[in-house]
Chain A
Amino acid sequence: MSVNRQQLPVPGAARPLSFPSIHKTTLANGLGVWTVRHANIPVVTLALLVRGGAAQDGSGHEGLSALTIDMLDEGSGDRSAIDMHEALARVGAQLDSDIGADAAVLTVTALARFAQPALSLLADITVRPSLRPADVERVRQLRLHRLTQLRDVPGAVADRAFLRLLYGSHPYGHTPLGSEASLAALTPEAVVACHQRMLRPSESTLIVVGDCSHDEIVKLAADAFGDWSSAGRGGEVPMPEALVPPRLNIVPRAGAPQSELRIGQIGVPRNIPDYHALVAANMVLGGQFVSRINLKLREERGLTYGARTSFDFRRLPGPFSLQVSVQTSGTVEAIRESLHEIEAIRGSRPVTREELELGVAALTHGYARSFETAEQVARALTNIALYDLPDDYFVRFVPLVSAVTPGEVTRVMEKYLHPDRLTTLIVGDEAAIARDLDGLSLGAPNILSADTF
C-alpha cells in the first residue's frame, strides 16, 4: 500500500465498547454488593465505597475521618499492623485507601485465586479494626509530621489555603489531612466514634470486578461482612454559602523560583443537569493539553510546564479552580491571561464549533480507555454508587456529551463562572512580584500566614 503524507488519515468507524453490566445484591445489613465480570487477566479488584468523608469531620476535628481511615489497616483483633500487612503481602494484595470530602474508598487488588482471603482481609480492616490508643497516637504523630513537611510543598500549601478562602469554616473548607492544630486535638476515643459513625454497611457498597461469579461473591461477602451493623449516624453537611474572599491573596515563599497559583470560586454539585455541558466546556477552557489556557501559558508563552482547570464535582457545590505553577517573573502575566481566558469563554470569544468538537471527541472517542482494567471499572462504579447515577450511565454518557452545543457552553460558562467573584491565590516570592501586582487591579493583596488555613 502507498501512504499519503499530505493528509492525516481519518479514522473509520470505531468498534463498539460493550459496557460492563452491573449485578447488584443488598445484604441483610444494608451493604450493597455489586459485581462486574472482567475476565481478561486473573486479577480481581475489590473496592469498598463508604459514603461520608472529610466533610463530616466536625469543626475542630478536621482530619478525623482521614485519620480513622488511615487507622483501618493498623491491626484487627489481636493482629498488629505488621501482621495485617504480612497477610496482605502473602497473597500479593495491594491495598490503597483514598478519602475525599464526600466519601472514602478502600481498594484491594489481588490475584484472582486469592479473592477469598483478600475479601476477608478487607472485611477485617473495615469492620473489625483494633484502633488501639497507642496505634492511634503513633499514626496521628506520623500525620502531623506529614503536615509539617507539607509546609514546604507549594502545591499542598495552595490547595489548603485555597479551600479555606473559598469555603471558610464550611466542611468543604479543609483538606482531609486537617491542620496541625486540629490533628493535635484528636483522641483515640474520637477515632473509635468516627469509625462507628462513618463506616456503616447501609452507607457502603462493595464493588468486585474480575473473573468471578456474582453469587459466589455475594456468598463470600455475606460471610465476611455479615456481622457488620450500622450503629452510629453521620451528620448532614449544609450547603456552602457563597463567601466574598479577597480577590488577591499571597502566601509568601521567599526566593521561590515559581509561583503556585490557584484561581477559582465555588462551583457546582455533581447532580446538576448542566453536568455534561460543563465537562465539555472545561475541556476547551483548561481540561486538556490543547485547552485555551494551557496552550496560552505553556505553548505560546513558555511560562509553565502545564496548566489546567477543573470542576471538582461533589455531592454539594465543589470548587472550580485553575491550577498552575509559573516562573516567578511571569506571575502577573499568567494571572492576567488566565482571568482573560475565563472572561472570554463566557461570551466575548465564545467556543468555536471546532474547539468544542475537539473537546467532545476527546471525551467520547476516548471513553473506552476508561474501562480497560478491573481497577478502572471499579473506580467508574464507585461514581455510580456515590452520586446515585443510573445503572446504564456509561451507555448514556457519550450521547449526552455529544449533544452539547457551542451555545450551551457559552450559557453554562456565563451562568457558573463569575469573573468578579474569582479569587486568586499565589504561593510565591512576594518581594519579587509585589510591585507588579498593582497592574492586575485586583486590590491590595491579602497576605496569608500559614497558621490561618
Chain B
Amino acid sequence: MNIAFHKHTLANGLDVLLHEDRSCPIVAVNLWYHVGSKNEVPGRTGFAHLFEHLMFEGSQHHDTGYFPPIQGAGGTLNGSTNADRTNYWEVVPSNALELALWMESDRMGFLLPALTEAKFSNQRDVVLNERRQNYENRPYGLAPMAMLAALFPGDHPYHWTTIGEIADLHAARIEDVRAFFSTYYHPANASLAIAGDIDPEQTLALVRAYFEELPPGPHVARLSVPTPALTREQRLVLEDRVELPRLHLAWLSPAMFAPFDAELDLAADILANGKTSRLYRRLVYDQRLATDVSAAQNSRELTGFLQVAATAAPGHTLAELERIIVEEIARLAAEGPTEDEIERCRVQAEAQFIFRLQNVGGFGGKSDQLNAYNTFTGDPAYFMEDLARYQRVTAGSLQEAVQRYLTTPHRVVLSVVPRGRVVLGMPDSSPAQVS
C-alpha cells in the first residue's frame, strides 16, 4: 500500500501534491502553512490559532463567510492549528474543486483587505469561548498548560499551549494579524495537496491558474531551538473541579521521525494503551487501583515528550499508581518487550497505516498525510518509510529507547486533584501556575 502522487513546485515556491483516487466522486483540498504556536512569542501566545479563525471570515473577493459557498456546494471544511503547523481543508464533490481552489487562493493572496476590527474582535470572543469550553470548564482541561510549562523553559516555543493565555488573547491587536500574515501566509511557506476524483493534469492547470500569480513571500527560516534537558524532577499539583485525582508523568523524548520516536510510540502502546497493555492489566484489571491509564509519545518537530497518565480509583493514592508505573517502565527497560508484543505491534501498525488510507481528506486523510510528510520531511513519499520504521522496531531497540528516555528521574510529575484536596497530590508538590 502507498499513496501515489505527483509533486510540482510552482515558481513561487508552493508545493503541489496530487493524488488520484476515483472510488468516490469527491475531492479533498488540503493546505498546510508551516506555522504554528511555536512561531509565536511570549506575550502573544494563542495567536496562530486566533489567526486561523480569521481565515474563515472572508477575503478581498469574497468578503463574507467561507462556509456558505462550500457547504452549498455539498462540501465540508475546517482547519486546525497545533504547535508546528496550521492546516485548512475542504472535501467537496468533484465538480466543486475549482470553487475550493478559488477560495483557498483568495485567502492566501488577499486576506488582509477584508480584515476588520469587528471580525477580529468577534473571533477573539469565539476563541475565548473555545478556551472556556475545551480547557477551563472541562475536568483536567488545564493539565496540558501546567505540563508544557514545566517541561519547557519560558522562552522555549513549546512552553505554551496552542489555545494560548487569556491575557495574551486580549492583548492581541489587528496589526499583529497583518504582520503574521505577511510573515507566514504565502506560497513559499505552504503545501497544497489535492486527493480524490481528479484528473491530475487538469488539476495542475487549475492550481497554476489560481496560485501561480501570488507572490512567494519572504523566506521563513526554520526554527532551530535547542531543548534543554531536564535536570531534576519537578513535582506540581493543580487543583481542578474533578472528583478523582489524576497523575501525569512526562519525560522529554525524540522529535518526530527521529531515532527512537517509533520505538517510544510502541512502548507507550505496550505500557498503557488498550486492554492488552501492561499497565491496564496491572492497575485497572488486576489490582483495580486506577480507573484508566494511557500513554502517548507526543512527537513534534523540534522535540517530543512521552506522557503517562492514570486516574486513581476511589480509596487509592497517586503514590500507589506512581510506584507501579515506574516499576513497569523499569521492567520494560530491564527485560524488553516479549516477541509476542512486538509481533502484535507490527500488525497493529500495518493495520493503522492501512486504515488511514480510507479517507481522501479531512483531518488525517490521505491529503493531510501527504502534506504532513512533505512539510516535515520534504518527501511526500515518506508514507512507506514511516511504516518501515515501525516494522524495523525490535525488542532490543525498543528496550534501548525505554532505557534511554524513561528511566531517568529527571521528569515532570503533575497531580491534578479535587479543589481543596492538595493533600491528594504526590508528596512535595508545588502549586502549578496556570492562567
Residues of A bordering B, CB below 8 Å: 1-3, 5-6, 8-17, 40-43, 81-82, 85-86, 89-94, 109-111, 138, 141-142, 145-146, 148-149, 151-154, 256-258, 260, 288-290, 298-305, 325-327, 357-358, 361-362, 364-369, 371-375
* Interface assignment of B281: CB less than 8 Å from any CB of chain A: yes
* Interface assignment of B301: CB less than 8 Å from any CB of chain A: no
Q: Give the contacting residue for A361; candidates B74, B138, B351; CB below 8 A.
A: B74
Contacting residues, chain A, for B72 (C-beta < 8 A): 357-358, 361-362, 365
Q: Give the contacting residue for A111; candidates B76, B291, B354; CB below 8 A.
A: B354
In the complex, residue of chain B having the shortest beta-carbon distance to the beta carbon of A300:
B122
**Bound CA span A11–B206, Å:** 14
Contacting residues, chain A, for B103 (C-beta < 8 A): 8
Within 347-385 of B, Cβ neighbours of A (below 8 Å) are at: 347-348, 350-352, 354-355, 357-360
Contact B129 A367 (CB under 8 A): no
State the Cβ distance, B36 to closest chain A Cβ, in Å.
20
Q: Give the contacting residue for A303; candidates B129, B210, B284, B314; CB below 8 A.
A: B129
State the Cβ distance, A169 to closest chain B Cβ, in Å.
27
Given A9-B98, A327-B129, 20 additional A-B pairs, CB 8 A: A11-B93, A11-B95, A15-B197, A17-B25, A86-B344, A89-B348, A92-B351, A94-B355, A149-B244, A152-B139, A153-B139, A289-B67, A290-B65, A302-B121, A302-B122, A325-B137, A327-B125, A327-B128, A358-B71, A373-B359
Contact B137 A154 (CB under 8 A): yes
Within 318-363 of B, Cβ neighbours of A (below 8 Å) are at: 340, 343-344, 347-348, 350-352, 354-355, 357-360
**Bound CA span A15–B22, Å:** 11
* Interface assignment of B313: CB less than 8 Å from any CB of chain A: yes
What is the number of contacts between chain A and chain B, taking CB atoms within 8 Å? 212
Contact B122 A82 (CB under 8 A): no
* Interface assignment of B243: CB less than 8 Å from any CB of chain A: yes
Contact B350 A111 (CB under 8 A): yes
Contacting residues, chain A, for B52 (C-beta < 8 A): none
Contact B132 A369 (CB under 8 A): no
Q: Give the contacting residue for B25; candidates A81, A257, A368; CB below 8 A.
A: A368
Main secondary structure of the interface of B (DSSP, over half): helix
Contacting residues, chain A, for B61 (C-beta < 8 A): 5-6
> With A89-B276, A257-B137 given, is the CB distance from A145 to B244 under 8 Å?
yes
Contact B125 A303 (CB under 8 A): yes
**Bound CA span A372–B355, Å:** 12
Contact A299 B137 (CB under 8 A): no
In the complex, residue of chain B having the shortest beta-carbon distance to the beta carbon of A92:
B351
Give per-residue flags for B83-123: 1 if the beta carbon is below 8 A from chain A beta carbons, else 0.
00000000101111011001100100010000000000111
Most buried by B among A89, A301, A325, A368: A89
Contact A372 B137 (CB under 8 A): no
Within 27-75 of B, Cβ neighbours of A (below 8 Å) are at: 60-62, 65, 67-69, 71-75
Contact A366 B76 (CB under 8 A): yes
**Bound CA span A91–B343, Å:** 10
State the Cβ distance, B326 to closest chain A Cβ, in Å.
22
* Interface assignment of B24: CB less than 8 Å from any CB of chain A: yes
State the Cβ distance, A416 to closest chain B Cβ, in Å.
24
Contact A305 B129 (CB under 8 A): yes
Contact B347 A41 (CB under 8 A): no
Most buried by B among A110, A111, A368: A368
Contact B132 A258 (CB under 8 A): yes
> With A3-B210, A146-B291 given, is the CB distance from A302 to B126 under 8 Å?
yes
Q: Give the contacting residue for B243; candidates A12, A151, A326; CB below 8 A.
A: A151
In the complex, residue of chain A having the shortest beta-carbon distance to the beta carbon of B134:
A305
Contact A12 B274 (CB under 8 A): no
Contact A369 B26 (CB under 8 A): yes
Contact A89 B274 (CB under 8 A): yes
* Interface assignment of B400: CB less than 8 Å from any CB of chain A: no
Contact A14 B25 (CB under 8 A): yes
Contact A90 B343 (CB under 8 A): yes
Q: Give the contacting residue for B359; candidates A82, A92, A367, A372; CB below 8 A.
A: A372
> With A111-B351, A138-B285, A257-B132 given, is the CB distance from A149 to B139 under 8 Å?
yes
**Bound CA span A258–B131, Å:** 10
Interface residues on chain B, number (Cβ under 8 Å): 80
* Interface assignment of B288: CB less than 8 Å from any CB of chain A: yes
Q: List 16 A-B contacts (CB under 8 A).
A: A5-B60, A14-B25, A15-B93, A17-B25, A43-B354, A82-B276, A92-B350, A142-B284, A145-B244, A149-B311, A152-B242, A258-B132, A258-B137, A290-B65, A303-B129, A325-B129
In the complex, residue of chain A having the shortest beta-carbon distance to the beta carbon of B346:
A92
Contact B288 A1 (CB under 8 A): no
**Bound CA span A22–B72, Å:** 30
Contact B209 A82 (CB under 8 A): no
Contact A15 B25 (CB under 8 A): yes
Contacting residues, chain A, for B60 (C-beta < 8 A): 5
State the Cβ distance, B332 to closest chain A Cβ, in Å.
17
Contacting residues, chain A, for B291 (C-beta < 8 A): 142, 145-146, 149
> With A302-B126, A368-B25 given, is the CB distance from A81 to B275 under 8 Å?
yes
* Interface assignment of B21: CB less than 8 Å from any CB of chain A: yes
Contact B99 A15 (CB under 8 A): no
Contacting residues, chain A, for B96 (C-beta < 8 A): 11, 365
Most buried by B among A15, A93, A371: A15
Contacting residues, chain B, for A42 (C-beta < 8 A): 1, 354
**Bound CA span A218–B210, Å:** 51
State the Cβ distance, B282 to closest chain A Cβ, in Å.
11
Most buried by B among A90, A326, A357, A365: A365
State the Cβ distance, B342 to closest chain A Cβ, in Å.
12
In the complex, residue of chain A having the shortest beta-carbon distance to the beta carbon of B291:
A145
State the Cβ distance, A341 to closest chain B Cβ, in Å.
18
Contact B358 A1 (CB under 8 A): no
State the Cβ distance, B117 to closest chain A Cβ, in Å.
13
Contact B243 A374 (CB under 8 A): no
**Bound CA span A252–B61, Å:** 47
Contact B358 A373 (CB under 8 A): yes
> With A110-B351, A153-B138 given, is the CB distance from A365 to B74 under 8 Å?
yes
State the Cβ distance, B260 to closest chain A Cβ, in Å.
23
Contacting residues, chain B, for A303 (C-beta < 8 A): 125, 129
Contact A305 B133 (CB under 8 A): yes
**Bound CA span A257–B68, Å:** 31
Contact A149 B242 (CB under 8 A): yes
**Bound CA span A395–B314, Å:** 53
Contact B243 A148 (CB under 8 A): yes
Contact B351 A9 (CB under 8 A): no
In the complex, residue of chain B having the shortest beta-carbon distance to the beta carbon of A153:
B139
State the Cβ distance, A326 to closest chain B Cβ, in Å.
7
Contacting residues, chain A, for B67 (C-beta < 8 A): 288-290
* Interface assignment of B205: CB less than 8 Å from any CB of chain A: yes
* Interface assignment of B130: CB less than 8 Å from any CB of chain A: yes
* Interface assignment of B156: CB less than 8 Å from any CB of chain A: no
> With A41-B357, A82-B275 given, is the CB distance from A148 to B343 under 8 Å?
no
Contacting residues, chain B, for A367 (C-beta < 8 A): 74
Contacting residues, chain B, for A290 (C-beta < 8 A): 65, 67-68, 71
Contact B93 A40 (CB under 8 A): no
In the complex, residue of chain A having the shortest beta-carbon distance to the beta carbon of B75:
A366
**Bound CA span A357–B160, Å:** 44
Closest 10 CB pairs of A and B: A365-B74, A92-B351, A302-B125, A366-B74, A40-B23, A15-B25, A85-B275, A305-B130, A11-B95, A373-B358
